[in-house]
Amino acid sequence: MPKLTWPRRADGRASGATDSVVGRISKPASAAAILVPVVGFAVANIFYPNQQELVMMMVYVVMAQGINVMYGFTGYLPFGYFGFFGVGAYGLSLSVIYLHVPAEVGLLCAIVAAVVVAAIMSPLLRLEGVYFAISSLAAAYAIYVVISNPALTPITKGPYGINLIVIYNSTASFIAALALVGVAMAVVVYLRVSRFGLALRAIRSDPVSAEYAGIMVVQERARAWLVSAALAGAAGGVFAWYTSTFYPSAVFDISVSIFAIVFALFGGVGTVWGPALGAVLLFGIYNTVGISQPQYFQLIYGILIVLLVLFLPGGLAGLARALVAGSNRLRSGRGKITNLPVAPGTGDG
């Protein structure tokens, strides 16, 4: 099978698609994409009294970026994404309860648990489209049934929930959430500027052509799957650490997947800032309207989704690109000198 090679430049370095991709995001822009959300949430914690809302917003920023990694770069939409979130929450909880590790180590256990489960579920990647979406949903519910089984109460605490009050530390868990947001943003920045991300976008566009170009389609797609699962597992671990008390139905909830998917689509998948902005804006609307007036929130949420599908298929990022392109066309149009015809009898002499 032929392998993808790039032409050589005069200095001997490979040129081509990678150079153009790397050039799209400068180092200052990359640093800003990582630091601005972290600093923004840290400053918000000083002035905004509801720290729990900020933590949940950061959790959904990470979840939306996880969806972005899988759907925005490979085209695979995992409806069962909440399964990794729940596995992460239980990975931290059970490691703290039975291994007596500190919460920071438990967070690493949450990531490992989610990655292991993702590796076990990797054969699902042989499916495509709606078949993959439904099969991932079924697998996530199967994990929930196992975790909440009353017969496993001595191990998983069954349907009676988890109590981690011994490690409750709102400050430390908030800092962990801040760090996780930075990591999630850094992952997406890396995908935007690396050959790995370029390969994933090629796979999403045309997996057959990508394979003929020398890209290991199955392996690259599986790597993205594991990275996406790691982000969700870490988000679940942070959620468990901050809340300290939860039931399996709270972490194995399909609404977690739905929120993350809608946030990512609203902001614009395949971009760095889109999912984060979508999560902040829509989750802010949810906390403003959805909790106090759920009936109005459902109406607003439905209208937003309809408008998104009909008029903003690229999300906020696509809208921004269209506005910038239109502005550039207007500026280029003003710079042109048009020779207008002169009416007879109005010229000189």
- The pLDDT tens digits for 139-169 are 999 999 999 999 999 999 999 999 999 999 9
Residues 6+ apart with CB under 8 A from 180: 58, 62, 234, 235, 238
Residues 6+ apart with CB under 8 A from 124: 132, 135, 136, 139
Among 46-55, 207-216, 227-236, 338-347, the least confident range: 338-347
pLDDT of 331 reads 77
Closest CA to 265 of 273, 257, 274: 274
Dihedral sign of CA atoms 239, 280, 270, 30 in order: negative
Dihedral sign of CA atoms 146, 151, 153, 159 in order: positive
pLDDT of 133 reads 92
pLDDT of 4 reads 45
Position 295 confidence tier, pLDDT thresholds 50, 70, 90: low
Query: Does 131 score more than 80 pLDDT?
Result: yes
Burial 33-56 (b: 16+ CB within 10 A, else e): bbeebbeebeebbeeeeebebbbb
Q: Other C-beta atoms within 10 Å of 205: how many? A: 10
- Which H helix or E strand runs over 160? none
- pLDDT tens for each residue of 234-248: 999 999 999 999 999
- pLDDT tens for each residue of 167-220: 999 999 999 999 999 999 999 999 998 999 999 999 888 888 888 888 888 899
Following CA atoms 26, 28, 34, 37 in sequence, which dihedral angle do they give, to the nearest 10 degrees? -120
Its pTM stands at: 0.84
Instruction: Please state at what angle helix 254-267 crosses helix 315-334, rounded to 10 degrees.
Output: 0
Q: What average pLDDT is seen over the chain? A: 85
Among 38-42, 225-229, 289-293, 323-327, the least confident range: 289-293
Instruction: Please state at what angle helix 27-47 crosses helix 51-67, rounded to 10 degrees.
Output: 150
Position 334 confidence tier, pLDDT thresholds 50, 70, 90: low
pLDDT greater at residue 306 or residue 338: 306
CATH number of 25-278: 1.10.3470
Closest CA to 286 of 269, 304, 270: 304
For residues 204 and 182, what is the distance between their CA atoms, to the nearest angstrom?
Answer: 26
